Structure 1
């Protein structure tokens, strides 16, 4: 075979092999289907499809309304010194502005969760892709999200780990990052995250783990709270296993090391840091003892002053700081316990089971409510006895009648100025006169005792009803009620009829403390405030001022104070207050009160720097037929009658003499003298003439008053009075003697039936 033939043969063999090779390619044609060009083209198409789908999602998905649960907060109540008293609400969260969190603490969260936070667009595509793949393949619910994505999950979405939720999170995060500042996003993140110990948000977590507000956190403490977010329960130092503690500390170190890498912390500072061991877990602050009453009083005041509905307030977010002084609060609680509850045996004595106590203590210069006693506990007695207004203040109203007389320059029936030394007829059941005519009201004195002619000072000391009933009419009951309103009593129950001189309207210890505080403050109105400040998300909300205008003249207010020192020095509070062994020289003014039927008993008094009103109320015990009803306290504590000079004055004295400056002095602007001495007056001469038995209600006028007047049973020896046309008494010519103004007693009667008074 020649060379040419050999070449042709080779060519034919190559063609044959090619043919055979071609049949092999046809058998594996998939290679021709997946060429590199086709693969690249397909991937590019898929990318375009995904991009198109994402664009559609971006256009379709809007930023939704925030999840209400993510912003639900508790209301936080604090004592005046900043200690937390209680957190009330379904969610233990208190949202704070980012400015309330130190900048280095803010940076710990960025270092822990998202170092690119300040530079990224709100998403981490690699982390999100990893999370989606792990979720689809069942490898666990993993995130890898940015701070923005976690904030979106907390605030706008749910904690469910699904592909749909992940995609929504991605889209919304991009939009949120464009719409909100990084500071807003970081604030939202640290306020909506869960930190363990039932704490949502950094403020609640700061309190739960370190007992401080977020604004006081150190870098070390902030790094621990930031570390907690990865595994709150596992890393909680108080309940963590040894492994959990090891992991928590490693995470803490990781956060601080990242801060060094980010140049937010120097290496030397980092080296000197020690792990800040958190406090042991404890129950969330709640309502125990008197705290329930403090809470209800503060809540009512905030709702009133800010014009909020209960639903609006209970939505949460308010930080309410009270004026309560914890030391004085404990002193008041101790005084009630030692002077009252330790002497009552409600399980074995029906009378003892009926007694409820309430008290409020006010700084007369600022109006701050420094202490409050509301009852045995909110769970046992829901009504706050310190703020309830359904019991009569009784004779504690008498100083207001005198204040009205002095403020209005009132005169007696025969034209004499009403002053501390003005003489009135203290005869029991003497009908009240107006312009010489009976007004149909003749109140009994306590125990139906007749005193005859007495000075206003003595009438206040002895709490003589007949004198102040006549004085009220002399002043004009409309003027008396107007003065009462100015001094701070509730206008709703102040009707201008003579029986109101006995204190038959309703009042609370808080209200009466405010009235007497206005007297102590020289006539400048004092409105008791239990709330010191209110804030929402770190922003203070203005509150009305507690000190108002001059509502009565200083001379009138100081003169009443001067007269009220006599009640302590020579009156119904002498034994419990003046002679109290705990008294260290404190100057005291005050007034007792005991209502008809012994359903309430009071002592409201003050020193130059503290005003306190204590009330005891007869209330039917729970689970009895009398439950909630106003009942008599007679027999309680072994006393025949619970009057204002007994338990109320004793409670007041123990509390006040352990809470006030013994050197403080009343600065009185009055020509009646500071601490008026009781003027020399005729001896009390009760009459023993029988009369028709009195009814139990002193406000009921006598059914058949005598029509023939008679002279009083006793008169001053120096200047015996003569009849005057007005039914009063002609004044003496000696101006150094007491001023007379005694409307004549038409009957001079007396009875032995007991009635309210002192």
Structure 2
């Protein structure tokens, strides 16, 4: 089973037997000649059984001398396809009669083609096309005569004659093959001598992975097993083409890795992997036994490699630099900029003092990880936190990029699809969406003051708090979502009703069993996977449709015939809306908007996705989430800006998004989207008892460092920004289109009422037709009527 990206890059290969079937006319003539000369030089003359060869073999058995085997190529095909290799006369008779039948049904060329593609040739390769890849990492047509002769010698005993397990025996067998080719006139004396004296160059080669996407490939792998069963999936020779694109996948991988390394390093250095020398305070590196090249090389061979981390040994420590030696004994220098971050790690919340010299960080003989970037080598460590990022097409649910952790080698647990984590404020857009369906507008005022809820059954007061603990008094719904006001989300849930909110959230594809039946739901106590969260956000991006994520775009059999073509549910109404759309390029077309006639005899009609919210609701929530990035007002006191303001660096106004942080910052999220792309980023620890902590100022790192408590905007959004910076370049600017029955009117910022003023006290706001305010403001609100005293207000229910 070969799994490819949408642009044809090999992502992974699964199965016990490797086959690359080729038609006979694509087999090198020298290979055909070598096989005929070695295995059956009268193949085109006999009728499936060679009387001369059979007589010679029988005579050898009688007189006790090996006169050669009696099996023809046809008989070997019979044995390989239909029989066992047991050494009995009954099996041999069956082989003979089966060979007769094969000769009756097939031409000689068809029989030879079957033989060349079926024969086992060692190291799980079956057929010469696969053997060329396994032993030489070449296409069959690119092999030299010497290499062809090695392969042609394998059918006799592939386990003992292959050039990897026994190069000397392979060389001797090659000489036999070349000798027979010379004797039968297939090659000249000069060709014979050149090939016979050539070195054995074979090495074992696995599949040449062109795109590192193991988490995505594993999802596709499991889909094939579900569809065909494990035996057929592994032996059917299927080529699976996914929806993943190499550009976006590479961007996602880099975003997750870079963000995890940045998070991990600002929390401090946990020390070397191991120490080859223990140096006391009274010793210097010169006084201990020097490290030998063999010791360094052998040690580093045992250290696990995790891309992009490179194992190395510290072999010299200067004042503010260190020399490292790699497994190949190459030496490089880590300068101060590559190690000044490495203050001591104490806990997730506490770090040591900033180092002043290299000796404060590393010692002679330390085994460490380093990374290489355009700025040179940098000290690193394997992150202890985990992360995930998934990106979908909101038009049809195609999974465009999937990264389920720092390294698949480190952990095969796919956090995109398997990790149900509390979502924090990522849930709020869905709660606000429910509010808009129940008599609220973006301009509705909600009281942003603390809540104190007495629970008679437990005797405990529930006090949900904003983060940070700042309160604004009466605040418009749109601004409350942009600022992620916790108490406003709770008040909206109360006003709508818990049951209605749960039902509304379930319509976005969230399992009701994952939605707590209490008011903590408004603050994100629900546990969902990143894929589920991204799917929910896709409904806002596509105008209100619930798409179903999928990754397998099509499946081809070993002969290139399409045996499966995805036909996903489309976010379209009507479903011909994408045809002849001038805003879409070939790169931005929905992945499966129509099955081509060239692929199937008939076009498969689109399937419309279920509409779960109105286009007006989706548009209004998107406006609020655009405000979370672009919204700000410094003309009032205190000024404010949206929690996702860091996304402005993308310089795209056609984006929207939402931060998310759970209680004690055990999980941090950012989910955001453009019209054609929705992406969710998560970071946290696999150990649920750990939180993301906080960091203190490191005097070595300058003004751009991240300090303080970790939360969605600091911890998860950087990966989202890094990915979207690459991804959005693939999509032209496309504003979210204002649907029918949505109007825009000028309102007073403080009251949400209509106004005739055109100064900073007013703004334009969108409303669903019939919900816009009808009353004009009668009070002058050109100055800010709220101040910090509102934060001292409280209300007891």
Task: Please indicate the TM-score interval, normalised by the length of the shorter structure.
Answer: 0.5 to 0.7
SS in 2 for 1:542: strand
Counterpart for residue 245 of structure 2: 325
User: How has the CA–CA distance of structure 1 residues 573 and 464 changed in structure 2, closer, same or farther, with 3 Å as cutoff?
Assistant: closer
Equivalents in 1 of 2:744, 2:667: separation in Å? 28
Equivalents in 2 of 1:680, 1:251: separation in Å? 93
Counterpart for residue 622 of structure 2: 561
Work out whether 1:592 is the aligned partner of 2:637.
no
Work out whether 1:464 is the aligned partner of 2:464.
no
Counterpart for residue 410 of structure 1: 438
SS in 2 for 1:446: coil
Q: TM-score, normalised by structure 1?
A: 0.64
User: Aligned pair count?
Assistant: 575
Q: Give the counterpart of 1:384 among 407, 411, 414.
A: 414
Equivalents in 2 of 1:505, 1:665: separation in Å? 32
Equivalents in 2 of 1:319, 1:487: separation in Å? 33
Work out whether 1:93 is the aligned partner of 2:18.
yes
Q: Deviations over 1:473-524 (max 9, x none)?
A: 4444444444434433345424654432222222122222222233222223
Counterpart for residue 334 of structure 1: 254
- The offset of 1:178, in angstroms, is 5.3
Counterpart for residue 726 of structure 1: none
Equivalents in 2 of 1:120, 1:131: separation in Å? 16
Check the 8 A contact 2:256/2:719 in 1, yes or no. Answer: yes
Equivalents in 2 of 1:159, 1:426: separation in Å? 81
Equivalents in 2 of 1:611, 1:566: separation in Å? 17
Q: Deviations over 1:30-51 (max 9, x none)?
A: xxxxxxxxxxxxxxxxxxxxxx
Counterpart for residue 228 of structure 1: 151
Counterpart for residue 749 of structure 1: 794
Equivalents in 2 of 1:316, 1:566: separation in Å? 51
Equivalents in 2 of 1:639, 1:676: separation in Å? 41
Alignment of 1:307-386 (within 5 A): 313=233, 317-344=237-264, 345=268, 347=270, 348-351=345-348, 355-386=385-416
Equivalents in 2 of 1:330, 1:520: separation in Å? 23
Larger relative contact order (C-alpha < 8 A, sep ≥ 6)? 1
Which sits farther off after the overlay, 349-358 or 451-460? 349-358
Counterpart for residue 294 of structure 2: none
Equivalents in 2 of 1:194, 1:230: separation in Å? 12
User: How has the CA–CA distance of structure 1 residues 630 and 315 changed in structure 2, closer, same or farther, with 3 Å as cutoff?
Assistant: farther
- The offset of 1:448, in angstroms, is 4.0
Q: Give the counterpart of 1:425 among 447, 451, 462.
A: 447
Q: Deviations over 1:678-735 (max 9, x none)?
A: 972379xxxxxxxxxxxxxxxxxxxxxxxxxxxxxxxxx99xxxxxxxxxxxx87328
Counterpart for residue 7 of structure 1: none
Counterpart for residue 215 of structure 2: 293
- The offset of 1:83, in angstroms, is 3.2
Equivalents in 2 of 1:679, 1:251: separation in Å? 96
Check the 8 A contact 1:227/1:252 in 2, yes or no. Answer: no
Alignment of 1:133-144 (within 5 A): 133-134=59-60, 137-140=63-66, 142-143=68-69
User: How has the CA–CA distance of structure 1 residues 658 and 494 changed in structure 2, closer, same or farther, with 3 Å as cutoff?
Assistant: same
Equivalents in 2 of 1:558, 1:254: separation in Å? 80
Equivalents in 2 of 1:84, 1:253: separation in Å? 40
Counterpart for residue 148 of structure 1: 74
SS in 2 for 1:143: coil
Equivalents in 1 of 2:49, 2:533: separation in Å? 62
SS in 1 for 2:386: strand
- The offset of 1:660, in angstroms, is 1.7
- The offset of 1:139, in angstroms, is 4.0
Check the 8 A contact 1:108/1:219 in 2, yes or no. Answer: no
Q: TM-score, normalised by structure 2?
A: 0.61
SS in 1 for 2:553: strand
User: How has the CA–CA distance of structure 1 residues 567 and 363 changed in structure 2, closer, same or farther, with 3 Å as cutoff?
Assistant: same
More strand by proportion, 1 or 2?
2
Unaligned runs of 5+ in 2: 188-198, 271-344, 350-382, 455-460, 571-608, 632-640, 697-705, 753-760, 763-772, 782-789
Equivalents in 2 of 1:666, 1:442: separation in Å? 40
User: How has the CA–CA distance of structure 1 residues 108 and 246 changed in structure 2, closer, same or farther, with 3 Å as cutoff?
Assistant: closer
Report which of the two structures shows the higher radius of gyration computed on alpha carbons. 1
Q: Give the counterpart of 2:423 among 361, 375, 393.
A: 393
Equivalents in 1 of 2:254, 2:427: separation in Å? 27
Q: Give the counterpart of 2:775 among 715, 729, 733.
A: 733
- The offset of 1:359, in angstroms, is 0.9
Equivalents in 1 of 2:222, 2:509: separation in Å? 18
Counterpart for residue 634 of structure 1: 693
User: How has the CA–CA distance of structure 1 residues 449 and 378 changed in structure 2, closer, same or farther, with 3 Å as cutoff?
Assistant: same
Equivalents in 2 of 1:469, 1:643: separation in Å? 20
User: How has the CA–CA distance of structure 1 residues 647 and 122 changed in structure 2, closer, same or farther, with 3 Å as cutoff?
Assistant: same
Check the 8 A contact 1:449/1:750 in 2, yes or no. Answer: no
- The offset of 1:674, in angstroms, is 11
Q: Deviations over 1:640-694 (max 9, x none)?
A: 43211012111111121122227412232248999999972379xxxxxxxxxxx
Counterpart for residue 611 of structure 1: 678
Unaligned runs of 5+ in 1: 1-74, 259-276, 412-417, 433-439, 621-628, 684-716, 719-730, 739-744, 752-758
Check the 8 A contact 1:135/1:142 in 2, yes or no. Answer: no
- The offset of 1:393, in angstroms, is 1.5
Q: Give the counterpart of 1:577 among 634, 647, 650.
A: 647
More helix by proportion, 1 or 2?
1
